[in-house]
Amino acid sequence: MFTALCYAGLLPGYSMGFNLQGLVFTVNIIHAQHLNKNGIPRTFIARALLTADNFQKIESILQCKGFGIAD
C-alpha cells in the first residue's frame, strides 16, 4: 500500500510518494538534452519504487540498466 501525489494521466510516484515500509521520495525534474528512447522511462522507475519493501529492492530498482531519461 502506498500514497502518492498523482497528476491526471501520469503514474503514481511522478513527483512524490511513500509506502507502508517507510520509503519516502520526491522527484525533481531536470530535462536532458539527449534522451535514451530505448530505455525505461523514469515514471515507471518511480512507480516501481512504491513497491519496495527493503533497501536491496530500492537499489535494484534504481540501478535499472536501460533507464530511459538521459545519457
Q: Strand 24-26 and strand 16-19: pairing?
A: antiparallel
**What pLDDT, on a 0 to 100 scale, did the predictor assign at position 68?**
59
Give the Cα separation of 17 and 11 in Å (integer): 11
Q: What is this structure's pTM? A: 0.77
pLDDT for 70 equals 53
Report the interhelical angle of 55-62 vs 42-49 (nearest 10°).
180
**CB neighbours of 1 closer than 8 A, spacing ≥ 6?**
19, 20
Q: pLDDT digit of tens for each residue in the chain (71 aa)?
A: 999 999 999 999 989 999 999 999 998 877 777 777 777 888 888 999 999 999 999 999 888 776 555 55
| C-alpha span between 71 and 67 (Å, rounded) | 9
